[in-house]
Structure 1
Amino acid sequence: MRESPPTLVAAVTAAVWLTADGEVDSLAPAEAARRASRQAPLLCHRRATATRLGVDPFPAFDLLELFAFVRPARFCAPTPRGLAQALGLGDPHSLEAQALVLGRAADRLLAELAAQEGPKSPALSIAWTMAQAGWPWGPAVLQALDFGKAERAPRRTAGYQVWEGLSEWSEHAPEPPAGNEPVDPQEARRRLAELLGTDAEARPQQADYASAVATAFAPRDREADPHLVLAEAGTGVGKTLGYIAPASLWAEKNGAAVWLSTYTRNLQQQIDGELDRLFPHRAEKVRQVVVRKGRENYLCLLNYEEAVRGLATRPQSAVPLGLLARWASATRDGDMVGGDLPGWLADLTGRGRTFGLADRRGECIYAACPHYRKCYIERSVRRARRARLVVANHALVMVQAALGGGEEGQLPQRYVFDEGHHLFEAADSAFAAHLSGQETTELRRWLLGAEAARRGGSSRQRGLQRRIEDLVAGQDHLESLLQRALRGARVLAAEGWHQRVTEAEGCEGPTERFLALVRQQVYARAPQRGEGYSLETEVRPAADGLLEAALGLDGALEKLEQPLVGLRDGLGDRLDREADTLDSDTRRRIEATMRSLERRAVRPLRAWRQMLRALASEASPPEFVDWLAVERIDGRDVDVGFFRHWVDPTEPFAQAVLAQAQGAVVTSATLTDKSGDPELDWQAAAQRSGSIHLPRPAIRAQVPSPYDYAAQTRIFVVTDVRKDDLDQVAAAVRELFLAAGGGALGLFTAISRLKAVHARIGRPLEQAGLELYAQHLDGLDVATLVEIFRAEPDSCLLGTDAVRDGVDVPGRALRLIVFDRVPWPRPDLRHKARRAAFGGKRYDDMITRLKLRQAYGRLVRRADDHGVFVLLDPMVPSRFASAFPEGVDFVRVGLAEAIAETRAFL
């Protein structure tokens, strides 16, 4: 760089400012903010730094932006330490050392860019456009790219047109039907041995597991009666390779795909990584393995192109779009969420300028899109049809099944559901119906497009008419149905609905009038109004006017549903009527449009109308639980609605997914309950997985962990800390974190408790040299926080359930877990209905034990891991000792003893 800027590193309560002359100043956050407002500093993660200083983001030389430009589609933990580690510059611990290393990081990145790119590189055009828009790094990057040697100034945005460099996918003949060759258990053992190699440590439990789950790969004998294996494998068994062995064998022998499904996108990445053992050569893996997610996870090239074309009027988008262009030219498959797009890039550039460019509203125009033949999503779909192993997630599997095959064309015949303990909640989300302000507004946008754009604004949102007008052109009946549907859509909630519903005045149409009455009933009857949480109340007895409003809305939605059903069926008739003349692209586009109409419009409208009609009856159908709610975040209302969930959501999951398959494995380290009654424990697994809805019982397999938990862990229940006194809770968390020397995870049952503790412990931890991060407070998504936690072994992290479920941190980086109190289920109306259906108090205990087991299971991920698990709740029932491995003492102690024992053990 021509002139070195000062360097800024900020912690929770202090900051370091390194001047261009090399002087190191230790500052209070307020003073650091004042200096940063006067002179743009060099730093790592501008938004997170500004959050820690308590100010809005300010101009800066953000090294993460430079990293994303020089090393696109590659990850580093977004901290000075993470950046230094990624660049091979050591592991600076103190704020001073981190400030000193940032300048070296900038020099190394610029040198790397100069070595790998030149004046003819597309990077030059991108950098030039970004520099013209005021990118602080622009001059230094142009210098590294030898801009002075270019024959002429680059053509503006030329490098942004990444679609020009993408290859087209090609069509292939349909795959033949799958064979029916089973997998012998001994075959599975041999395949596992091949995957592990000759140098691998003997793991008899893993071989036993692979042999047991092979049973799921036998052909079924009766329709809707799959071979289902419920397999619990303790941590350390190596269940991923254990099920990959028989799954890959079946796929090879029968020429069809096995879908490996897990709960989160991050776990998809982990499974994909394990498959490197099966396919060590990248080209072969690309042919055989596909990671599949919903369309909303991938960059939409049409949305991206339209954003690039808008740069003339929105030059401020040049920097985020330039960084996205660099990523798009290097990405493996265009996956923006959990793929190779660093999560922190969206934090830097704004989520609307990254994730907002995905097809998040189902507005794809398929073959009518100029980028259809290069589309990341279409490429992924076609690869999945020919792959042998598809790594999916539970949500996608359930959506595909509900649509009878979805984009893949047909349903898989073999599944492995990893993290099977999450199937219940995944199904709960997939098969629910929400008649709310947000949902109805989304449907209105999907049908009508951006109404603001027609009033002089601008938007990429494409309405139904724009998406399908050429498919219905010249066909009077279909054109008429389309116009009827568009007129009918105006009964749905419109932009600005929330204010009108809140004031109960000026409501536009029957949906908003209904929602205003829903809100009135919730606020009149819901308890705990002052706590800032979401509010809910029973549907019955309905407040004055609500039933009439519901019947009026039902009639209005019927006038919308009828033409949409007619449009869907009419397009189907066209497929039949013009079978001899329609080209393949048009056929596929019509089929995709029919699926979209069914999923995005007809299904929710049908469900909403059923709910509205049920309001007038004496009770909801027994298989459902209905309630009214005002959804709130930080005490602020964000949605209002009428909600319906299945009491047992595994019932539709079993019908739509399991019963349609030949075989499936449901597996987890925490599949059964641990009540002390083995039969009841397996019944809980059958209930949570949906196997109770199949004709015959599932096959059971249970393989214990090889770890010595009694030697490797300690469990303490602290008896002298009042859980309702946040000063005492914070003091306990602080001293336990200090005793462990970091590597500590604090788990909280409420965000408000997390925030209160964070405010009290940040300074003392920082003074002890321990970095503190927190969900909801650091401006970072959960996946990024976990990556930082993993990369910095002495850091501490505070989080809620989302952190607990997303943590997989082997080694010393996680050696202490502190739970603020017993994680009882939230006592809402949905839980009340399930509690009544599934065993009352026993159901409460099962849910709580599962959360405790999941949290405790994060401590030991390798044979040499050690960890301490602490519950700051003297009221922990002794029966919950069964949640933990046999032989591990469940010790009740005072706080001082817990601190001393933690320090000694770790």
Structure 2
Amino acid sequence: MAKAVAEAAATGEHLVVQAGTGTGKSLGYLVPALRHAVAENSTVVVSTATIALQNQLIGRDLPRLTEALEPLLGRRPAFAILKGRRNYLCRHRLEGAAAAPDEAELFDPHMLSSLGRQVRRLHEWAEETVTGDRDDLVPGVSDLAWRQVSVGANECMGAQMCPFGDECFAEQARAETVGADIVVTNHALLAIDAVQGYRLLPEHDLLLIDEAHELVDRVTSVATGVLSDRAVSVAAKRAAQICDVELTERLAETADGLALMVAETPPGRLDHLPDALATAVASVRDAAHACVSDLPDRTRDDPESASVRRLALAALEEVHRTAERILASDQQPMRERGDVVWLAKGARQTPGLRVAPLGVDQLLRDSLFTERTTVLTSATLALGGSFQLMAEQWGLDLAAGPDADRGERETTDGSDSSGTEGERPRWRAIDVGSPFDHARSGILYVARHLPPPGRDGLHPSYLDEIAELIDAAGGRALGLFSSTRAAVQAAEELRERLKHPILCQGDDSTGQLVREFAENEATCLFGTLSLWQGVDVPGPSLQLVIVDRIPFPRPDDPLASARQRAIGSGGGNGFLAVAATHAALLLAQGTGRLLRSVHDRGVVAVLDPRLATARYGAFLRSSLPPYWGTTDPEVARAALRRLDRAASQAA
């Protein structure tokens, strides 16, 4: 892997690397990246999806590597971390944080009282923090509280205008990246830099994207617009401080109209906006535009006015841009649309309209693959034995890509379709394998005898199967469920049937639950999505991974269903490209929780029989680590009993 990354840096050829768990892939790309940065006197950017990996790189890998490589490179390389401006406390915003928040009228008094306590704590923390980084605040505060003391890139008036510019935490973090050999950032900031046009990252000629299987979702999230009555009300309140009162009152009234239409419209994808809802959105768009036009010119000698104007402008432009985008999509012929619009409602989200891109391949192609050399890596990239599904989502030219079925490490090169003049970037892909002997260390058991999963919770036979497996394993089980409802149902019912402690996501913070699970070998942990990708528990505490069903996206998922339909209408296989790819990624990530060291042993039990019986089952199985497979429940239980005895004797 290190040789391939070094070659990519030298030739400018893009590289895709699948590196299984235990490979040490961070070293595989950091060593050649450091050498390249020092030799070329340039900066290399490393982007990750999770805070855990970001902290690992900054807190462990890079300090060790820079010390070890100093004698070989002639100097100690410098590294820095950079996050989005919203992650840093804003001293100027903090000055006004004691006042009522933008959304004050939208919350009950109890919530506002809690908010006040959190903001007071933030004031105290501001006096002692060196970084102003939200991740350094332990325990943390709510998103609402943090919004009172932070600003986004579009809300910041700039260090030259701000009276606290010399003390700005975000500017200090950015200053530390100047001259750094390695800058570690996250996919969200990378997406903001690419999607929204803010030049947040330093100039760089080599980009390393770790956890690359998350890239499309993170970029899609940044490119998604939200239009709610709450957002419109906040914009109106901010604008009221400097705009004509009639205009801001008109905008506030459109928020009420939007709320009424949202309440009357059922949730789901909107291929066509109902006339009344379209009228409400158009009213919001026009009222926001009128307020933007009425904003006074920026006053350079009045920082306070500049701040008020900047905050108002950011909120108004976001509302106007999203409303305009929703209406523009609605007016386009279906086959020409680049966006998907849907109405979201639910206990955990603000009711409102969402608009997201059908795909981000063209965006990534233009922003990532035409200006620099890019290396994308993850433990899970070759789905169904091929890199092509992921490459297509990233915007890499399939005709130029490698034939992943021709064997490990063998590649085919070619030109991509970025549309640039002259010689176009080329790319290749490799699978560097894993140090684990999956077939000897793990069993993939598919419960073929069970009925297909239904929509009305877990079937009693599924609960019986889980109970028998956990009993055989002596606990030691991680249960990965497709929904919170299923995880809670299993936990509640099995606590009454089993002697082993069962923790369930939501009982405590996820980090605390994982720690308890790791410390007590007899304990089981049940949960949903974040556990599929975020658990690293080597040793005898985890010898059984249970998956209740193939994690396809919900049939009514607006974005997934629209993407599937668009691919199908173009002659492609929408199910394979969207639903099966989504399921394969999650299954590979989830089943990868089992083996975290070369000494680990265990069983992955997939209760969904479709993995063995459906036509797409072979595609999904070929996306998983090459465990030894069985559909015999007694074989799986016998293996678990042997592992339990061995672990108990060792203890």
Normalised by the length of structure 2, the TM-score is: 0.79
Q: 1:885/1:332 Cα in 2 relative to 1: closer, same or farther (>3 Å)?
A: same
Give yes or no for contact 2:192–2:222 (8 Å, CA) kept in 1: yes
After TM superposition, the structure 1 = structure 2 runs for residues 453-532 of structure 1, keeping only pairs within 5 Å, are 483=243, 488-492=247-251, 509-522=253-266
For the structure 1 residues 554 and 646, does the alpha-carbon distance in structure 2 shift closer, same or farther, using more than 3 Å as the test? same
Q: Which amino acid aligns with 2:466?
A: V
Deviations 1:777-834 (A, max 9, x none): 3142x34433444454543222111221222333334322111111112222321221
Q: Which runs of 5+ in 1 are unaligned?
A: 1-208, 221-226, 449-464, 466-481, 493-507, 523-534, 576-581
Q: Which residue does the alignment assign to 1:49?
A: none
CA deviation string 1:362-402 (max 9, x = no partner)? 76565566654333322111112232211111001111233
Aligned to 2:276: 545
Could you tell me the percent identity over the aligned residues?
A: 27
Moved more, 387-396 or 855-864: 855-864
Does residue 632 (structure 1) correspond to residue 366 (structure 2)? The answer is: no
Q: 1:407 to 1:850 in 2, by over 3 A?
A: closer
Maintained 8 Å contact 2:47/2:185: yes
- CA gap of 1:858–1:302, structure 2 versus 1, over 3 A, is same
Tell me: CA distance 1:237–1:294, structure 2 relative to 1, closer, same or farther (3 Å).
same
- Which residue of structure 1 lines up, in the alignment, with residue 593 of structure 2? 858
Instruction: Look up the SS of the partner of 1:643 in the other structure.
Output: strand
Contact 2:443-2:636 at 8 Å conserved across structures: no
**2:92 paired with 1:359:** no
Q: Give the match for residue 749 of structure 1.
A: 482
Go from structure 1 to structure 2 and tell me whether the alpha carbon gap of 1:413 and 1:562 turns closer, same or farther (over 3 Å shift).
Answer: farther
1:253 pairs with 2:39:
yes
Cα distance change, pair 890–561 in 1 and its aligned pair in 2 (3 A): farther
Distance verdict in 2 for CA 1:394–1:318, change over 3 Å? closer
Matched, 1:803 2:525: no
Please say if residues 79 and 181 of structure 2, whose CA atoms lie closer than 8 Å, have aligned partners that are also in contact.
Answer: yes
Describe the shift of the 1:547–1:885 C-alpha distance in structure 2 as closer, same or farther (beyond 3 A): closer
Residue 670 of structure 1, CA deviation? 0.9
Q: CA offsets, 1:523-570, max 9 Å, x none? A: xxxxxxxxxxxx314232x43533443443333233234456xx6xx6
* Maintained 8 Å contact 2:444/2:630: yes
SS, match of residue 671 in structure 1? coil
Which residue is equivalent to 2:404? Answer: none
Deviation per residue, 1:689-734 (Å, 9 max, x gap): 2323535442222211121001111111123444444443334334
Q: 1:625–1:402: structure 2 CA closer, same or farther, 3 Å change rule?
A: closer
* Offset at residue 736 of structure 1 (A): 2.5
Contact 2:8 2:15 in 1 (8 A): yes
1:821 is matched by which residue type in structure 2? Answer: R
| One-letter identity of the residue aligned with 1:483 | C
SS, match of residue 605 in structure 2: strand
Q: What pairs with 1:16-55 in structure 2 (closer than 5 Å)?
A: none
- Residues 302-451 of structure 1: pairs in structure 2 closer than 5 A: 333-337=131-135, 340-342=136-138, 345-346=139-140, 351=142, 355=146, 358-359=149-150, 367=159, 371-408=164-201, 411-444=203-236, 447=239
Please tell me whether the aligned partners of residues 288 and 316 of structure 2 are also in contact (alpha carbons under 8 angstroms): no
Quote the Cα distance in structure 1 between the aligned partners of 2:483 and 2:61. Answer: 35
Aligned to 1:773: 503
Structure-2 separation of matches of 1:622 and 1:358: 38
Q: Secondary structure at the match of 1:691?
A: coil
For residues 511-532 of structure 1, give each alpha carbon's deviation from its aligned partner in whole angstroms, at most 9, with x where no partner exists. 432342244232xxxxxxxxxx
Q: What letter is aligned with 1:633? A: A
Summarize the Cα distance change of 1:870–1:377 in structure 2 as closer, same or farther, 3 Å threshold: same
Q: Partner of 1:840 in structure 2?
A: 574
Cα distance, 1:407 vs structure 2: 4.4
1:683-694 to 2 correspondence within 5 Å? 683-692=388-397, 694=418
Residue 78 (structure 2) pairs with residue 288 (structure 1): yes
Deviation at 1:854, TM superposition (A): 1.0
Aligned with 2:387: secondary structure? helix
Deviations 1:86-106 (A, max 9, x none): xxxxxxxxxxxxxxxxxxxxx
Q: 1:671 aligns with which of 375, 381, 389?
A: 381
Structure 1 residues 853-900: Cα deviation after superposition (integer angstroms, max 9, x where no partner): 1111222222212221111122323413212234x3331124x55333
> How far apart in 1 are the matches of 2:98 and 2:443?
56
Larger radius of gyration: 1
Alpha-carbon distance change, 708 to 328 in structure 1, aligned in 2, over 3 angstroms? farther
Structure 2 unpaired stretches of 5+:
101-111, 398-416, 419-423, 645-651
In the alignment, structure 1 residue 707 sits paired with structure 2 residue 436:
yes
Check the 8 A contact 1:229/1:664 in 2, yes or no: yes
What is the correspondence of 1:780-791 to structure 2 with a 5 Å cutoff? Answer: 780=509, 782-791=510-519
1:275 corresponds to 2:62 = yes
Aligned partner (choices 878, 887, 890) of residue 629 of structure 2 = 890
- Please state how far the C-alpha of 1:359 moved relative to its aligned partner: 1.0
Q: Distance in 2 between matches of 1:600 and 1:309?
A: 18
Separation in structure 2 between the aligned mates of residue 600 and residue 411 of structure 1, nearest angstrom: 29
CA distance in 2 between counterparts of 1:316 and 1:604 reads: 28
Contact persistence 1:257–1:389 (CA under 8 A): yes
The residue aligned with 1:902 is 640
Which residue of structure 1 aligns with residue 400 of structure 2?
none
Alignment CA distance shift 1:881-1:545 (3 Å) = closer
Indicate whether 1:556 and 2:287 are aligned.
yes
Q: Is the Cα–Cα contact under 8 Å of residues 561 and 606 in structure 1 kept in the other structure?
A: no
Counterpart of 1:819 (choices 539, 547, 554) is 547
User: Does structure 2 conserve the Cα–Cα contact (< 8 Å) formed by 1:266 and 1:783?
Assistant: no
What is the letter of the counterpart of residue 785 of structure 1? L
Q: Relative to 1, partners in 2 of residues 1:905 and 1:620: Cα closer, same or farther, differing over 3 Å?
A: same
CA deviation vs aligned residue, 1:296-315 (integer Å, no higher than 9, x gap): 323444566777999xxx99
Q: Does 1:874 align with 2:609?
A: yes
Q: 1:315 to 1:599 in 2, by over 3 A?
A: closer
Residues 491 and 557 in structure 1, CA contact (< 8 A), matched pair in contact too: no
Give the CA RMSD over aligned residues.
Answer: 3.8
User: Among residues 358, 363, 387, which one is paired with 1:652 in the alignment?
Assistant: 363
CA distance in 2, matches of 1:641, 1:316: 26
In 2 relative to 1, CA 630–841 (structure 1 residues): closer, same or farther, beyond 3 Å? closer
- Residues 544 and 325 of structure 1: CA distance in aligned 2, closer, same or farther (over 3 Å): closer
Shift of 1:269: 0.9
Q: Structure 2 CA distance, aligned partners of 1:853 and 1:687?
A: 19
Shift in Å at residue 360 of structure 1? 5.7
- 2:478 partner letter: L
Aligned pairs, number: 585
Could you say what secondary structure the match of 1:386 adopts? coil
Give the deviation of 1:352 after TM superposition: 6.8
Equivalents in 2 of 1:546, 1:756: separation in Å?
Answer: 38
State the distance in 1 between where 2:250 and 2:75 align: 50
**Amino acid in structure 2 at the alignment position of 1:682:** F
Distance 1:622 1:555 in 2: 23
The 1:412/1:559 distance shift into structure 2, 3 A limit, reads farther
Match among 337, 340, 351 for residue 622 of structure 1: 337
For residue 27 of structure 1, what is the aligned residue in structure 2?
A: none
Q: Is the 8 A contact 1:726 1:757 kept in 2?
A: no
Distance 1:626 1:701, change over 3 A: same
